[in-house]
Structure 1
């Protein structure tokens, strides 16, 4: 796990993008646009792979999309007659953040090169990997994505969709992947639909198909949303068009944090609008935990939707009590605790709107509590007379095994403290979290994975060795 840098949030998973065109297009550029639109899902590494049916070019490195792909590096993956391309933005959840763990991952088979971009985690990857090592398999990285790629590659005597379906049946967890050969694009999603994946098609004569983590990536390349990839479904696109196979139907339990925090506010996943669901979370919070106050203030940007909803339902005016510096992003690494404390002040500063006011402060989550405490202190120093903290997720008590870095259990403040103890720790006048029932009503769509709140893991958990057990101890 990467070192804690003071950003007290569940860290994003990854973003995947794939495009297939039967007509020549600048797929490198379109893939660049697609993964740029998904940059919020991973800021540590970026990569693109492109094929024209013969050549297969890959470029990837550590950094943001704009840092990795200057004009020279983008030109290095451009192909005049490109037919298929995939891209990836990464936040490392398994495998340290080394350059060789950047994706897309590639491997060579007797039928040609395959490329994979993966979002999520396989909970049984270690057992499958160990078994494959005993059978003579070789691995070039330390991440679990390569387990899936090797499973597919060793069945290269089969058609690619058939080999991929077989690999899906051997791995458990939460995942959404795009896979490319020189002539085809495949997308597939875990049986519980924990990680999101959507299908789109470009307007115009090329009619190129696009598969991505969120609709925002479709819109960035001029595609309209067709539908979500269903939980347990495999789709593939080749010269004959779009095809589908239901490999492993399951009980849909998509990750609740997609609507709480991860997905862009302009996304719609599994039929549920992200922005509207966040407003409903705020409305539900106001019904469950009203308070006498003067203004409702969001922690930008993730608390914005819920703050709008809280203000609407409560009748308390909404105001911008915190300014967010748009240039203080996650690329700034704070090596010491003192530097991490200063990072919050670099990122957020209070406005005059809070002076002399009783503030309802709205945020999407509390992980360790460190940043929440600093924000409460900022508001008090700026003259807020009361700070009432409201959170649009339930208390996070358990780690995620499906592709989100929520910290080890012993670092989750709600796993070791009561709500009142957390309130005292962060210095708020009151603290309330939305209920699980309220969250379900706010999302009001599919069943949800709430494992990080209640410890009920729909796709199972890894087998724990002694190191894992120590990391999960309270």
Structure 2
């Protein structure tokens, strides 16, 4: 998926996951389960969603819509058009306020009709050699219907000479570079695949006699499914009524490089990643931050909602009271109408408000998950000072974000990342706060359960947005002139 302008002036100051995938097989009315799963994954994609199902009598049916799952996939009128015991779905991140910038044909899942029957796929991640593949496929006669890199997979499958869909998918994905967690379906099979590095998450669940695949465990919870296990990096599972869950390893084995920002921000705090509670990791980040960057203050306040677990951990470790100094408007939707320049200039205040009675005269520690461009951080600091705070100290629950992500995260270009152009002290002065400290990369690894910290020779996670060390070279971006971090830097 390609990035586009944000919907609101403060929405470009966070890194954004671009999609979530979900699928079920062996259940009655699969579309209802898929809709519930996508609702639980809405944080991973808010621009659009789609569902594809198969019914033995009616064949394949699909629905793709712009907007939230709750607005599109809850009415009987829509759901009645999606019968069948097997289905998959996809939510796409909202990177544009103007839906005209995105065509409905870009909304997944994508469907293809092959000689041995139809298949649909939903993809979370980013194909770093998609431009090269697209040129090659077009030269050989393929006709693309969307601008999505994910469509390359369908065309590669169509050109494979293998005799069944799973084997064609293996063929196709062996040509793909970058990050992919794929949920796919045929008339009778549900398929899940993770790339060899396991950058993006994918989990397996059991519901009654059926099965589910999901980007996160929180979506299994909502449908009452039992979490079975993570799909392993480089693994393909093929699920059918006849054979149950079959596991294949179609790729050359590689050391796992799971995205560490899933632990920091992307995933829901009630999910389990690699056997570890996301909430506990984020709380432990706050503990590490308090050890690495203590400060004398009166209150620890989260920047809601993503800074909350880290703020709790910081408070517990430091002994400084935790307080809700900033209140989030839970009803601030992305479709908020902004009729005047005056309202547009309210910016963050439409989304966040300061608890003035609590803040006045206090030395406040603000805990946030990240600083990207710094625009939102400056506005929040101004709000806290306007409310009468004596001091403002920022503590950030991730290292400085100095490099863009090319594996499925909507990131600004490097020149627009504050940490790519300023030191920590310069960022402190730019933001106008009394102090600014980020957790170290070693501290982040310790919080994620790696006691010895980060091994520079063999990192446990993909941390390219912090380190500039890309586990898969972004071929398309290098072709366009992107400069990798020099080896000696």
TM-score > 0.5, shorter chain as reference: yes
Query: Is residue 2:290 matched to residue 1:277?
Result: no
Look up the match of 1:359: 364
Query: Is residue 2:255 matched to residue 1:226?
Result: no
What's the CA shift for 1:426? 1.5
Look up the match of 2:461: 448
Q: Is the 8 A contact 1:59 1:76 kept in 2?
A: no
What's the CA shift for 1:16? 0.1
The residue matched to 2:384 in structure 1 has which SS? helix
The residue matched to 2:254 in structure 1 has which SS? coil
Equivalents in 1 of 2:80, 2:135: separation in Å?
36
Q: Is the 8 A contact 2:116 2:165 kept in 1?
A: no
The residue matched to 2:259 in structure 1 has which SS? coil
Query: Is residue 2:402 matched to residue 1:397?
Result: yes
Look up the match of 1:65: 69
Q: What do residues 154-181 of structure 1 show as CA deviations (whole Å, max 9, x unaligned)?
A: 2264222211111221101111110111
Look up the match of 1:192: 197
Q: Is the 8 A contact 1:399 1:408 kept in 2?
A: yes
What's the CA shift for 1:78? 2.8
Task: Select 2:326's aligned residue among 314, 322, 327.
Answer: 322
Look up the match of 2:378: 373
Q: What do residues 222-244 of structure 1 show as CA deviations (whole Å, max 9, x unaligned)?
A: 10100000001000101221110
Equivalents in 2 of 1:333, 1:440: separation in Å?
41
Query: Is residue 2:477 matched to residue 1:464?
Result: yes
Q: Which moved more, 1:172-181 or 1:146-155?
A: 146-155
What's the CA shift for 1:60? 0.4
Q: Is the 8 A contact 1:297 1:359 kept in 2?
A: yes
What's the CA shift for 1:343? 2.8
The residue matched to 1:120 in structure 2 has which SS? strand
Taking a change above 3 Å as real, the CA distance of residues 193 and 96 of structure 1, as seen in their structure-2 partners, is: farther
Task: Select 1:87's aligned residue among 64, 86, 89.
Answer: 89
Point out where structure 2 has 5 or more consecutive residues left out of the alignment.
451-458
Point out where structure 1 has 5 or more consecutive residues left out of the alignment.
none
Task: Select 2:40's aligned residue among 37, 42, 60.
Answer: 37
Task: Select 1:210's aligned residue among 205, 212, 224.
Answer: 212
Q: Is the 8 A contact 1:59 1:73 kept in 2?
A: no
The residue matched to 2:409 in structure 1 has which SS? coil
Task: Select 1:258's aligned residue among 257, 262, 271.
Answer: 262
Q: Is the 8 A contact 1:401 1:461 kept in 2?
A: yes
Equivalents in 1 of 2:23, 2:336: separation in Å?
30
User: What is the TM-score normalised by the length of structure 1?
Assistant: 0.94
Q: Which moved more, 1:274-283 or 1:6-15?
A: 6-15
Q: Is the 8 A contact 1:189 1:229 kept in 2?
A: yes
Taking a change above 3 Å as real, the CA distance of residues 257 and 180 of structure 1, as seen in their structure-2 partners, is: same
What's the CA shift for 1:338? 6.6
Taking a change above 3 Å as real, the CA distance of residues 288 and 333 of structure 1, as seen in their structure-2 partners, is: farther
Q: Please, what is the CA RMSD of the aligned residues? A: 2.2
Equivalents in 1 of 2:134, 2:91: separation in Å?
24
Equivalents in 2 of 1:49, 1:62: separation in Å?
15
Taking a change above 3 Å as real, the CA distance of residues 334 and 100 of structure 1, as seen in their structure-2 partners, is: farther
User: What is the TM-score normalised by the length of structure 2?
Assistant: 0.91
The residue matched to 2:475 in structure 1 has which SS? coil
Q: Is the 8 A contact 1:111 1:156 kept in 2?
A: no
What's the CA shift for 1:191? 0.8
What's the CA shift for 1:221? 1.1
Task: Select 1:170's aligned residue among 172, 175, 182.
Answer: 175
What's the CA shift for 1:61? 1.4
Equivalents in 2 of 1:132, 1:93: separation in Å?
27
Equivalents in 1 of 2:50, 2:24: separation in Å?
14
Query: Is residue 2:163 matched to residue 1:158?
Result: yes
Equivalents in 2 of 1:422, 1:250: separation in Å?
37
The residue matched to 1:138 in structure 2 has which SS? coil
Equivalents in 2 of 1:237, 1:2: separation in Å?
36
Query: Is residue 2:122 matched to residue 1:122?
Result: no
Query: Is residue 2:298 matched to residue 1:294?
Result: yes
Equivalents in 1 of 2:45, 2:103: separation in Å?
14
What's the CA shift for 1:341? 4.3
Equivalents in 2 of 1:152, 1:128: separation in Å?
12
Q: Which moved more, 1:66-75 or 1:170-179?
A: 66-75
Query: Is residue 2:386 matched to residue 1:386?
Result: no
Equivalents in 2 of 1:360, 1:166: separation in Å?
52
Q: Is the 8 A contact 1:110 1:156 kept in 2?
A: no
The residue matched to 2:169 in structure 1 has which SS? helix
The residue matched to 1:77 in structure 2 has which SS? coil
Q: Is the 8 A contact 2:29 2:85 kept in 1?
A: no
Q: How many residues align?
A: 465
Equivalents in 1 of 2:73, 2:397: separation in Å?
36
Look up the match of 1:145: 150
Query: Is residue 2:416 matched to residue 1:411?
Result: yes
Task: Select 1:303's aligned residue among 283, 301, 307.
Answer: 307
The residue matched to 1:115 in structure 2 has which SS? strand
The residue matched to 1:464 in structure 2 has which SS? helix
